[in-house]
């Protein structure tokens, strides 16, 4: 589990095919690498990966074929920068929001423009993410916890304040660039609970909006 507050940026040093997946070697500040432990989780551009080896200023993780296909990691080339965040420790401050490190889908940068000192960026998002977006809600973009400003039929916008721009590199991505998106997990649980309960009620012959409409209690229902 993560917070979406990026700890540091690293760089991809090597991509080594391993069966259907790959092994990634990532450069990172020595101070961060020195704290790593075998098997711990690190979010790499928002994708939760497991540390298998490290030394000095680098560490290695294995990524499955599914991870490479579902995220933008398959697009990365040696030298590309990535956002890095170690897992949240119980008792730490939750400065961002609850981020699972499980990328839902990729989106694309639509456009960006300066708004005062901030940069407003619009992203196009697929339904797998868009259905959970609400104004002033949370979303993770390449692992970065951000507040949703505006939602439209195609996606959403966020504001990158000056401090954020000094820590992450989202502001460097041009229109059309792909990004990893993870919707707020709370919204997913709420949807699951509501749809699951509705399905149970229908199976048991309970009352729902469709039944009320057919009985004429709702406008547009049969009389």
Q: Give 196 or 109, the one with higher predicted confidence.
A: 109
Q: Within a 10 A sphere around the Cβ of 171, how many other Cβ atoms?
A: 14
pLDDT of 104 above 90 = yes
Evaluate whether 153 touches 147 at the Cβ level (below 8 Å).
Answer: no
pLDDT-derived band at 223 (thresholds 50, 70, 90) equals very low
Percent of the chain topping pLDDT 90: 81
Q: What is the pLDDT of residues 138-153, one digit of tens each?
A: 999 999 999 999 999 9
Enumerate the domain spans of the chain: 8-86, 105-184, 185-223
8-86 carries CATH number 2.70.98.70: no
Q: Decide if 8-86 and 105-184 have a common fold.
A: yes
Q: Name the pTM for this structure.
A: 0.87
Which segments within 32-104 are labelled E, that is strand? 41-44, 47-55, 58-63, 81-86
User: What would the DSSP string read from start to end of 200-217?
Assistant: HHHHTT---HHHHHHTTS
Report helix, strand and coil shares of the chain as percent, to nearest 5.
25, 40, 40
CATH of 105-184, one of 3.10.129.10, 2.130.10.10, 3.40.50.300, 2.40.30.20: 2.40.30.20
Count other C-beta atoms under 10 Å from residue 103's C-beta.
25
Nearest to 96, CA basis, from 215, 3, 216: 3
């Amino acid at each position: 589990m993560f917070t979406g507050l990026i700890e540091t940026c690293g760089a991809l040093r090597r991509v080594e095919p391993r069966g259907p997946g790959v092994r990634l070697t990532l450069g990172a500040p020595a101070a961060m690498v020195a704290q790593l432990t075998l098997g711990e989780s690190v979010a790499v551009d928002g994708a939760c990966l497991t540390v298998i080896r490290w030394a000095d200023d680098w560490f290695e993780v294995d990524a499955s074929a599914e991870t490479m296909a579902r995220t933008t990691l398959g697009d990365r080339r040696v030298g590309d920068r990535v956002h890095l965040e170690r897992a949240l420790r119980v008792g730490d401050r939750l400065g961002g929001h609850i981020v699972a490190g499980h990328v839902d889908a990729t989106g694309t940068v639509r456009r960006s423009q300066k708004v005062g000192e901030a940069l407003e960026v619009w992203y196009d998002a697929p339904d797998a993410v868009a259905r959970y977006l609400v104004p002033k809600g949370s979303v993770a973009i390449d692992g970065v916890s951000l507040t949703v400003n505006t939602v439209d039929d195609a996606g959403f916008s966020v504001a990158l304040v000056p401090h954020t721009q000094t820590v992450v590199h989202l502001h460097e991505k041009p229109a059309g660039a792909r990004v990893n998106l993870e919707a707020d997990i709370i919204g997913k649980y709420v949807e699951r609970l509501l749809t699951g309960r509705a399905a149970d009620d229908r199976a048991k012959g309970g009352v729902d909006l469709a039944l009320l409409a057919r009985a004429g209690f709702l406008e547009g229902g049969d009389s």
